Amino acid sequence: MKIYSVADNITSPLGITTIDNFEACLNDETGIKTIENSDLYPTSFLGGLIEKNTFPELFQEDKYTHLENLFIHSIKDALQKAPEIDEGRTALVISTTKGNIDLLAPTYKGEMPAERVLLSSLAKTLSVYFGLSHSGVVVSNACISGVSALLTAKMLIETGQYDHAIVTGGDILSEFTISGFQCLKAMSDEPCQPYDTDRKGISLGEACGTMIVSNQHPIEKEDRPMIEILGGGQANDANHISGPSRTGEGLKNAIKRAIKASHISIEDIDYINAHGTATSFNDEMEAIAFDTLGLSQIPLNSLKGFFGHTLGAAGIIESIMTIEQMRRNLLISTKNFKNMGVSKKLNIVEEIIPEFKSTYALKTTSGFGGCNAAIIFQKYGN
Amino acid sequence: METRVLKYAEINSSKAIRNGEVVVDNPSQLIAKEYFKEIYMALDLKYPKFYKMDGLCQLALLATEMLIGDGDYKGDEIAIILGNKNASLSSDKQHYAAIASKENYFPSPAVFVYTLPNIMLGEICIKHKITGENSCFMMENIDADFLHTYVSHLFEADNYKYCITGFVDFTEENYIAKLFLAGSVDSSDSEATYKFDKTFNKIIP
| Closest CB from B86, B112, B131 relative to A236 | B131
Last residue of a domain, one of A204, A220, A236: A220
Whether residue A142 sits in one domain with residue A41: yes
Residues of B within 8 A of A158 (CB-CB) are 153, 157
Q: Find the mean pLDDT for residues B138-155.
A: 97
pLDDT confidence of residue B154: 96
pLDDT confidence of residue A4: 96
Last residue of a domain, one of A220, A238, A273: A220
Q: B123 vs B187, which has greater pLDDT?
A: B123
pLDDT confidence of residue A335: 98
Whether residue A234 sits in one domain with residue A200: no
Whether residue A279 sits in one domain with residue A210: no
- Tell which of B64, B99, B168 to mutate to test the A interface (max A CBs under 10 Å): B99
Whether residue A263 sits in one domain with residue A145: no
Q: Locate the chain A residue with the closest alpha carbon to B152.
A: A159
pLDDT confidence of residue A294: 98
Dmax (CA) of chain A: 55
Residues of B within 8 A of A242 (CB-CB) are 109, 113
Whether residues A238 and B107 touch (CB distance < 8 A) is answered with no
> Cα–Cα distance between A40 and A208 in angstroms, integer?
19
Confidence category of residue A26, pLDDT binned at 50, 70, 90? very high
Confidence category of residue A129, pLDDT binned at 50, 70, 90? very high
Whether residue A175 sits in one domain with residue A236: no
Whether residues A140 and B121 touch (CB distance < 8 A) is answered with no
pLDDT confidence of residue A218: 74
Residues of A within 8 A of B92 (CB-CB) are 101, 104, 176
Residues A82, A4: contact at Cβ < 8 Å? no
pLDDT confidence of residue B92: 98
Range of the domain at A311: 226-380
| Closest CB from B97, B107, B122 relative to A236 | B122
Question: Structural domains in chain B?
Answer: 2-203 (3.40.47.10)
Q: Find the mean pLDDT for residues B95-116.
A: 96
Residue A267's closest CA among A288, A301, A298?
Answer: A298
Residue A210's closest CA among A156, A157, A170, A167?
Answer: A167
Whether residue A215 sits in one domain with residue A233: no
- Other C-beta atoms closer than 10 Å to the C-beta of A330 total 18
Please give the interface size between A and B, counted as residue pairs whose CB atoms are below 8 Å apart.
155
Last residue of a domain, one of A220, A248, A275: A220
Residues of A within 8 A of B122 (CB-CB) are 236, 241, 368-371
Distance from CA of B96 to the nearest CA of A (A): 6
- Tell which of A229, A371, A375 to mutate to test the B interface (max B CBs under 10 Å): A371
Whether residue A197 sits in one domain with residue A92: yes
Is it the case that residue A41 has pLDDT exceeding 90? Answer: yes
pLDDT confidence of residue A111: 92
| Closest CB from B89, B113, B134 relative to A241 | B113
Is it the case that residue A91 has pLDDT exceeding 80? Answer: yes
Whether residues B131 and A369 touch (CB distance < 8 A) is answered with no
pTM: 0.98
Residues A178, A45: contact at Cβ < 8 Å? yes
Whether residues B125 and A238 touch (CB distance < 8 A) is answered with yes
Is it the case that residue A219 has pLDDT exceeding 70? Answer: no
Distance from CA of A238 to the nearest CA of B (A): 4
> Cα–Cα distance between B22 and B59 in angstroms, integer?
16
Whether residue A304 sits in one domain with residue A201: no
Whether residue A202 sits in one domain with residue A291: no
B-proximal residues of A, 13-32, CB under 8 Å: none
Confidence category of residue B188, pLDDT binned at 50, 70, 90? confident
pLDDT per residue over A314-342, tens digit each? 999 999 999 999 999 999 999 999 999 99
Cα-based torsion angle of the residue sequence A180, A255, A167, A169 in order, rounded to the nearest 10 degrees: 10
Mean pLDDT across chain A, nearest whole number?
96
Distance from CA of B25 to the nearest CA of A (A): 31
Mean pLDDT across chain B, nearest whole number?
96
Count up the domains in chain A and report the number. Answer: 2
Cα-based torsion angle of the residue sequence B127, B128, B131, B134 in order, rounded to the nearest 10 degrees: -80
Percent of chain B with pLDDT over 70: 99
pLDDT per residue over A258-299, tens digit each? 999 999 999 999 999 999 999 999 999 999 999 999 999 999
Terminal Cα distance for chain A, rounded? 22
Q: Find the mean pLDDT for residues A189-193.
A: 98
Is it the case that residue A221 has pLDDT exceeding 70? Answer: no
Whether residue A279 sits in one domain with residue A176: no
pLDDT confidence of residue B187: 75
Residues A236, A245: contact at Cβ < 8 Å? no
Distance from CA of B50 to the nearest CA of A (A): 13
Is the Cβ of A95 closer than 8 Å to some Cβ of chain B?
A: no
- Tell which of A92, A115, A119 to mutate to test the B interface (max B CBs under 10 Å): A119
Q: Locate the chain A residue with the closest alpha carbon to B86.
A: A118
Whether residue A368 sits in one domain with residue A234: yes
Whether residues B108 and A183 touch (CB distance < 8 A) is answered with yes
Terminal Cα distance for chain B, rounded? 27
Residue B81 one-letter amino acid: I
Q: Find the mean pLDDT for residues A214-237.
A: 87
pLDDT confidence of residue A222: 62
pLDDT per residue over B10-59, tens digit each? 999 999 999 999 999 999 999 999 999 999 999 999 999 999 999 999 99
Residues B57, B123: contact at Cβ < 8 Å? yes
Residue A33 one-letter amino acid: K
pLDDT confidence of residue B75: 96
Is it the case that residue A88 has pLDDT exceeding 80? Answer: yes
Whether residue A358 sits in one domain with residue A291: yes
CATH of the domain at A360: 3.40.47.10
Percent of chain A with pLDDT over 70: 99
B-proximal residues of A, 233-262, CB under 8 Å: 233-242, 249-250, 253, 257, 261
